[in-house]
Structure 1
């Protein structure tokens, strides 16, 4: 029973939401308010990517897109910085940068499994 419960919990973290991911998209904008375009990521990818390049505190250049894969990245240069962020829920890249977020289904399953483990353990 415990093995089955552990298998269900572990599998819940790898579940992908059904349907198409929707991301905000824009190309080389200096204001995040100009990045209001929305795109369904059908066949493009399963991740929303945001790339922000800041130039010496003067301005930011922002690009957002749907992509198949994304590696978060941060680098601080003498003349600016670059921050690439990734997330995987609908319209999660609304701000200039955001972190990967776990879906509500995965959180609910993890909490339920944790509670079940506590209850099962207390009965032993």
Structure 2
């Protein structure tokens, strides 16, 4: 029995830590379909991140997706009305599959900006 415990202890001590986090990666892509390349993260990278940004209105709106492995989790959700930026994190392999996020253009903020611009233009006599 002692020999079995010694062998088990030796096996545990010789085993290397398993770091096999895989994430989807891409840089500034227009479509999530271009972001389906998987990549084995480095040992110190514990998160898969998806960053989604959008700017503009209607047909002129532009969307960008960036996916990568990350050492930390910089979750953000910033909305400027006609522009928005969001980063989401997850910790399981290939968990950053979806390009969908909660970033939405705020129509209330856009209308407020347009109204403020009109007031400034009227006051300036334009």
TM-score range, shorter chain: 0.5 to 0.7
| Runs of at least 5 residues in structure 2 that lack an aligned partner in the other structure | 1-16, 102-126
1:30 corresponds to = 30
> Displacement of 1:18 after TM fit?
4.1
Judged with a 3 Å threshold, the aligned counterparts in structure 2 of structure 1 residues 91 and 70 are, in CA distance, closer, same or farther, namely same
CA contact (8 A) 2:19 2:43 kept: no
> CA–CA distance in 2 between the matches of 1:31 and 1:48?
18
Equivalent positions of 1:74-85 (< 5 A) are 74-85=77-88
> Displacement of 1:42 after TM fit?
2.4
> CA–CA distance in 1 between the matches of 2:100 and 2:51?
8
Equivalent positions of 1:19-98 (< 5 A) are 19-57=19-57, 58-97=61-100
CA contact (8 A) 2:21 2:41 kept: yes
- If you compute each CA radius of gyration, which structure gives the higher value, 1 or 2? 2
Q: Secondary structure at the residue paired with 2:77?
A: strand
- Runs of 4+ in structure 1 over 6 Å off: none
Aligned positions, number = 82
> Displacement of 1:59 after TM fit?
2.6
CA contact (8 A) 1:74 1:83 kept: yes
> CA–CA distance in 1 between the matches of 2:56 and 2:78?
13
> CA–CA distance in 1 between the matches of 2:46 and 2:21?
6
| Runs of at least 5 residues in structure 1 that lack an aligned partner in the other structure | 1-16, 99-124
Q: CA RMSD in A?
A: 1.9
